[in-house]
Amino acid sequence: MEKSHYDLHENNPEDCDYRNFLARLTKPLLKRLKPNCSGLDFGCGPGPTLSIMMEEAGHKVSLYDPIYYPEVSPLSKSYDFITATEVFEHLHQPAKDLEILFNNLKAGGWIGIMTKRVLNKEAFTKWHYIQDPTHVCFWSETTFKWVAKKWRTSVEFPQTDVALLQKV
């Protein structure tokens, strides 16, 4: 069911609107990276675009997606940054996935996450995001602060749907 739902997404690297959407994560992340970093686009989907944008900025990016790029070897390498755009709401085992990501992140490295955040309990009950059957995990600013404390990282929120965590 999930794959058929994801296949409906139009993640086209030539689509300027899609690139602008992804830039909400790439712009603040790029400001924090040194030149020539290595990264992982975790959950890149069928039309990897964020990786292309990061490569255009001079970085090398590996791809992993359990459905479209299931080769697991990228999950055993170390990276200066890891991105996950519109992925965290689909995680069935977020603690396990976070453990993998933080284990693959170099000291001083960044994890850039784009997902809509829960604002409060009242708003949650009326939120369109919970209507998507593939959305099984929901994140709030409080949740990201808890994640940062657990994995000993700092956390920043440069956009309403972006969290940047830096490993110390």
Model pLDDT for residues 60-113, shown as the tens digit of each residue: 999 999 999 999 999 999 999 999 999 999 999 999 999 999 999 999 999 999
> Quick check: 111 and 165 in contact, CB under 8 A?
yes
CA atoms within 13 A on the CB side of 137: 15
- Whole-angstrom distance, CA of residue 68 vs CA of residue 45: 6
How is residue 33 annotated by DSSP? P
Burial 39-60 (b: 16+ CB within 10 A, else e): bbbbbbbeebbbbbbbeeeebe
Domains by residue range for the chain, with CATH: 2-167 (3.40.50.150)
- Whole-angstrom distance, CA of residue 120 vs CA of residue 117: 9
Return the amino acid letter for 30. Answer: L
Question: What pLDDT is stored for residue 135 in this prediction?
Answer: 87
Separation in Å, CA 112 to CA 6, 36, 43: 21, 17, 12
Query: Full-prediction pTM beyond 0.85?
Result: yes
Mean of pLDDT values over 27-49:
95
Model pLDDT for residues 111-133, shown as the tens digit of each residue: 999 999 998 888 888 787 778 88
> Quick check: 25 and 83 in contact, CB under 8 A?
yes
Model pLDDT for residues 146-157, shown as the tens digit of each residue: 999 999 999 999
In which band, very low, low, confident or very high, does the pLDDT at 5 lie, cut at 50, 70 and 90? very low
Separation in Å, CA 109 to CA 39, 47, 104, 127, 165: 9, 25, 10, 33, 8
